[in-house]
Amino acid sequence: MIISYGDWSSSFLEHYFPRLPEDIQNCIYELSTGNDLLNLYTRFRNAAVHSSLSSYYSQEILFIPWGSSSSFSRRMDNNKRMLPIIRNNDDVIQFINEFPKVIPNRLHIHCNNYGFSSMQDILDMYGDRIYQIKELEITLAGYILLTPNKFNYLLSFPNLTTLQLYSTRWEKRLVKNSIPINHPTLRKLEFSQFVYGVGNDNVDYYIDWSGFEFPQNLQELSLTGIANISTITIPETTTHLHFNCAKIGDIVSCKSMLENVTELSLRWCRLQVIDLDVLPAGLRILDLSYNRIGRIVGNYKSALPEDLHTLKLNMCTLDDVVLDHINENIGWPSQLTRLEISSNNFSKIDILEKLPETLKTLWLSRNHLKWDEGEVLFTFPHLTELCLHRCGICDLQNFQFPSSLKNLTLCFNEIENISSYQGWNNLVNLHTLSLCRFSRQNLNGWIVLPNLRELHLAYTENDQLNNKFGVSSENYNLQIITSGCRYCNRNT
């Protein structure tokens, strides 16, 4: 952004830009690079623009120091795309020097591989400014060796609220530290590792957390590779609990620590039974994916928590019998809006059709569906996202997708002719359609939906697509994505 006084851009910034609503100004900033914004701040001396930029940066900022890989940076862009993002130490130093009065309310620092020393340089160099920030969030990932000294260094910042450690290497003496973490503001602590050989008894993978004392004000705790759940003491303030790849086996062993929990994740924990009587009454989010669950038990009055709005049971070896038991005997919570039951053994549509009408998101991928001729499918009135990835679907004629649908995934199915489906005109709100791994002739004669913004067609060339559609995607506000969608390489 090269500012030349007297041109139209200068006139726009001087007279019209300050009159725009703040959210519109922020949208313009989000579409600009960090260098563009610094250039604007230094080259265009306008009090209103300076005030607007300072306000924008005073909300929250994401720093990605030297040493962080480009793929990691892109992932952070996707997760934090609404934040101002400043990369590498030179840009950080330039930013801090050019915006001396800006103290953001929240600062996110994400580094991986060899970025720890670069991050430490910035923290040490501008410690006086860093200490004034209300909320400091730090994420480490990759090949970083986390020693007790490094861990204590991070905890030395009194405004640290979130510490996430993804697949970092830890010295064993770190988790055997018997000194309590007396941190005044730390609310979220996450120890996560990449999982290799899940299900074996690799003693180097499973960790004894019995000697680790967590902050007494901790609200969110995530641990991976727990050797013995009974030896862990959880603060009473903890409401979000994630135990993944742990030797649990029975959810009853967690009962004493679940009383105040509203979000619970027990993935890859060898669970075989869901005991409804153990689940806390205030639970809102429950994820038990990747367990071999064969039964759901409880007394005759037992039910899923009434406030539960998200339930994830992906890859749990569940079948139609279990699902029918929930439908007929247990019942569904009245607040349930998101249900993920991909990669199970469901097939009977008449049982699936009894799922609650409150659902807005339904993941049903990797279940081979069967239905009778003339049976009407998927009429949930409030559904906005439906994933039917690898469901053995050959024809859409029996499907009655609701007009509320915004995101539809039909990847890896054998539908012979997409254009023959008569219900496309009803999908007036459809924003994203994923048809990855469809052959191009299946799209012959298909009409592009008016509000469609993303069409996923992996491994298909754009010029051939335009010929098959009979129209160019350039005539629509449509992005054709040929690198696949987020479901293509997932197990669920």
pLDDT exceeds 80 at position 160: yes
Looking at the fold, whether 342 and 440 belong to one and the same domain comes out as no
What is the C-alpha to C-alpha distance for residues 425 and 403, in angstroms, rounded to an integer?
9
Closest CA to 12 of 1, 84, 58, 55: 1
| Exposure string over 375-411, b if 16+ CB within 10 A, otherwise e | eebbebeebbbbbbbbbebeebeebebbebbbbbbbb
Q: Which residue has the higher pLDDT, 306 or 206?
A: 306
pLDDT exceeds 70 at position 204: no
Measured CA distances, 169 to 58, 65, 145, 178 (Å): 34, 19, 5, 20
The neighbour count for residue 334, using CB atoms within 10 Å, is 11
Contacts of 217 (CB under 8 A, 6+ apart): 183, 184, 185, 186, 187, 235, 237
Domain that holds residue 254: 8-366
Domain endpoint, select from 331, 366, 401: 366
Looking at the fold, whether 337 and 435 belong to one and the same domain comes out as no
Closest CA to 409 of 383, 430, 437, 389: 389
Which pLDDT does position 74 carry in this prediction? 40
**Is the dihedral angle over the CA atoms 79, 83, 87, 93 positive or is it negative?**
negative
Is 140 part of a structural domain of the chain? yes
Tell me the chain's radius of gyration from C-alpha atoms: 26
What 3 state SS string does 68-106 have? CCHHHHHHHHHHCCCCCEEEHHHHHHHHHHHCCCCCCCE
Looking at the fold, whether 399 and 426 belong to one and the same domain comes out as yes
Which pLDDT does position 124 carry in this prediction? 92
Instruction: Please tell me the least confidently modeled range out of 3-12, 15-24, 108-117, 298-307.
Output: 3-12
The amino acid that residue 378 corresponds to is: F
Which pLDDT does position 410 carry in this prediction? 92
Tell me if 142 sits within 8 A of 112, measured CB to CB.
yes
Q: Which residue has the higher pLDDT, 64 or 153?
A: 153
Beta bridge partners, 140, equal 111, 165
Which pLDDT does position 306 carry in this prediction? 96
Residue range 300-315: average pLDDT?
94
User: pLDDT tens, 390-436?
Assistant: 999 988 988 999 999 999 999 888 887 788 888 998 999 999 999 88
- Residue 438 pLDDT class (50, 70, 90 cuts): low
- Residue 198 pLDDT class (50, 70, 90 cuts): very low
Is 2 part of a structural domain of the chain? no
Tokens at residue 178, please? 């018997």
Residue range 362-386: average pLDDT?
90
Most confident of 146-155, 196-205, 284-293, 408-417: 284-293
Contacts of 120 (CB under 8 A, 6+ apart): 153
Closest CA to 137 of 166, 106, 116, 97: 106
Residue 409 carries which DSSP code? Answer: E
Is 92 part of a structural domain of the chain? yes
Which pLDDT does position 442 carry in this prediction? 61
Domain endpoint, select from 366, 398, 425: 366
Mean pLDDT of the chain: 81
pTM (global) more than 0.85: no
Is 158 part of a structural domain of the chain? yes
What 3 state SS string does 98-159 have? HCCCCCCCEEEEEEECCCHHHHHHHHHHCHHHHCCCCEEEEEEECCCEECHHHHHHHHCCCC
Looking at the fold, whether 361 and 452 belong to one and the same domain comes out as no
Please report where in the chains the tokens 């067609």 appear, as a residue.
457
Looking at the fold, whether 156 and 205 belong to one and the same domain comes out as yes
Tell me if 154 sits within 8 A of 130, measured CB to CB.
no
Tokens at residue 59, please? 């909300």
Q: Which residue has the higher pLDDT, 438 or 473?
A: 438
Q: In degrees rounded to 5, what are phi and psi of residue 87? A: -105, 155
Which pLDDT does position 54 carry in this prediction? 74
How many alpha carbons lie under 13 Å from residue 468 in its C-beta half-sphere?
A: 18
Looking at the fold, whether 320 and 385 belong to one and the same domain comes out as no
Burial class (CB in 10 A: 0-12, 13-18, 19+), 10: middle
Tell me if 61 sits within 8 A of 86, measured CB to CB.
yes
Q: How many domains does the chain have?
A: 2
Looking at the fold, whether 16 and 89 belong to one and the same domain comes out as yes
| Exposure string over 83-117, b if 16+ CB within 10 A, otherwise e | bbbbbbbebbebbbeebeebbbebbbbbbbeebbe
Domain endpoint, select from 366, 398, 414: 366
Looking at the fold, whether 79 and 218 belong to one and the same domain comes out as yes
Is 3 part of a structural domain of the chain? no
The neighbour count for residue 77, using CB atoms within 10 Å, is 14
Q: Which residue has the higher pLDDT, 488 or 114?
A: 114
Which pLDDT does position 99 carry in this prediction? 77
Tell me if 355 sits within 8 A of 371, measured CB to CB.
no
Residue range 206-222: average pLDDT?
86
Is 1 part of a structural domain of the chain? no
Looking at the fold, whether 248 and 382 belong to one and the same domain comes out as no
Looking at the fold, whether 250 and 164 belong to one and the same domain comes out as yes
Say what percent of the chain tops pLDDT 70: 80
Tell me if 411 sits within 8 A of 437, measured CB to CB.
yes
Tell me if 290 sits within 8 A of 315, measured CB to CB.
yes
What is the C-alpha to C-alpha distance for residues 236 and 161, in angstroms, rounded to an integer?
18
Looking at the fold, whether 177 and 72 belong to one and the same domain comes out as yes
User: pLDDT tens, 447-479?
Assistant: 778 889 888 876 543 444 554 554 445 556 677
Which pLDDT does position 53 carry in this prediction? 79
Q: In degrees rounded to 5, what are phi and psi of residue 486? A: -70, -15
Looking at the fold, whether 458 and 352 belong to one and the same domain comes out as no
pLDDT exceeds 90 at position 49: no
Say what percent of the chain tops pLDDT 90: 37
Which pLDDT does position 398 carry in this prediction? 87
Is 470 part of a structural domain of the chain? yes
CATH number of the domain within which 243 lies? 3.80.10.10
What is the C-alpha to C-alpha distance for residues 276 and 293, in angstroms, rounded to an integer?
13
Is 19 part of a structural domain of the chain? yes
pLDDT exceeds 50 at position 200: no
Which pLDDT does position 440 carry in this prediction? 52
User: pLDDT tens, 313-332?
Assistant: 999 999 999 999 999 999 99
Concatenated DSSP letters of 153-202: HHHT-TTEEEEEEES-EE-HHHHT--S----SS--EEEEE----STTS--
User: pLDDT tens, 341-351?
Assistant: 999 999 999 99
Residue range 286-293: average pLDDT?
96
